[in-house]
C-alpha cells in the first residue's frame, strides 16, 4: 500500500469517509495503469483494501474522487466481496451438478428409455442440465448489478450528495473507452465501471448496470 505521506489527499478523503461509514481505514493501493478505474476487495471491513489507478487520479477533481471512494467503501461496508464470492460458489456448484446430470442423462437415459419408454424424461433432464448453468450465471450477474446500484446509493449517502459520483461515472464512461483497462471476466465485477465492453444480449451477463442508468438513479436521489 501507499503511505499517507505519498498520497495525503487519498488518505484524507478515505479517513473522512471511513469515519462516516464507521469502518476501519483500509490500506490504499495505487495501480500503475493509465485507464481510470477503482475497486475495493476484502471479505469484511476488518480485512479490506481500496485501490485506484493512476489514470483515475489524473482526471478526477476532489468531489468526483470522493464519490468514487465512497462507492468503494460502501462495497466494503456492505461486504459485497463476500456476497459475490458466495454467489459465485453457488453458481459453480449448480454448474457442476448440471454437468453430472448431463452425463447421467447421456449415458444412463438411453438404457432406461429403451427399457421403459422414458425417452422424454431423459431429454428433459438433458435440457435442464444444459440450461441450469446459464440460469445460474444470469442470477449471479443480476446480483452483481444490484450490488453496484446499492453501492452507488450508499456512496452518495456517505458524501451527503450524489453529484460527485454521478459526474465521476460520466467522466469514467468516456475516459475508459479511450483508455481500456486490461481485465478478465473473473475480476471485472471488482471495478467501479465495467472494464469489459458489453451490449445487447451480452448486457445480461454484465457485472455492471448501464452507466447511464446508474447516473439517472443518482440524479434522482434527494439527499
Cα distance between residue 155 and residue 103, in whole Å: 46
Cα distance between residue 11 and residue 90, in whole Å: 36
Grouping H, G, I as helix, E, B as strand and the rest as coil, residue 42 is strand
DSSP state for residue 187 in the 8-state scheme: T
Please confirm, yes or no, whether 20 is among the known catalytic residues.
no
Cell numbers for 64, please give them.
468526483
CB under 8 Å, gap of 24 or more: what pairs does 92-97 form?
Answer: 94/132, 94/133, 94/135, 94/136, 95/132, 95/133, 95/136, 97/132
Catalytically annotated residue among 6, 72, 115, 182: 72
Cα distance between residue 192 and residue 197, in whole Å: 14
Per-residue CA distances from 212 to 129, 169, 202 (Å): 36, 9, 17
**Residues with a known catalytic role:** 72
Amino acid at each position: 500500500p501507499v503511505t499517507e505521506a505519498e498520497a495525503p489527499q487519498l488518505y484524507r478523503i478515505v479517513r473522512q469517509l471511513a469515519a462516516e461509514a464507521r469502518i476501519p481505514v483500509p490500506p490504499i493501493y495505487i495501480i500503475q495503469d493509465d485507464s481510470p478505474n477503482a475497486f475495493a476487495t476484502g471479505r469484511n471491513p476488518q480485512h479490506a483494501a481500496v485501490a485506484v489507478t493512476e489514470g483515475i487520479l489524473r482526471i478526477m477533481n476532489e468531489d468526483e474522487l470522493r464519490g468514487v471512494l465512497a462507492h468503494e467503501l460502501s462495497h466494503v461496508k456492505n461486504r459485497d466481496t463476500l456476497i459475490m464470492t458466495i454467489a459465485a460458489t453457488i453458481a459453480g456448484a449448480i454448474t457442476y451438478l448440471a454437468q453430472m446430470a448431463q452425463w447421467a442423462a447421456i449415458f444412463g437415459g438411453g438404457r432406461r428409455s429403451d427399457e421403459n419408454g422414458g425417452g422424454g424424461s431423459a431429454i428433459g433432464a438433458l435440457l435442464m442440465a444444459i440450461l441450469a448453468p446459464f440460469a445460474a450465471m444470469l442470477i449471479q450477474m443480476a446480483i452483481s448489478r444490484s450490488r453496484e446500484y446499492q453501492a452507488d446509493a450508499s456512496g452518495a449517502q456517505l458524501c451527503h450528495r450524489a453529484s460527485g459520483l454521478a459526474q465521476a461515472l460520466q467522466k469514467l464512461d468516456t475516459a475508459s473507452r479511450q483508455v481500456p483497462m486490461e481485465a478478465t471476466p473473473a475480476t471485472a465485477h471488482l471495478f467501479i465501471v465495467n472494464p469489459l465492453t458489453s451490449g445487447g444480449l451480452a448486457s445480461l451477463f454484465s457485472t455492471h448496470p448501464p452507466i447511464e442508468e446508474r447516473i439517472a438513479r443518482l440524479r434522482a436521489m434527494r439527499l
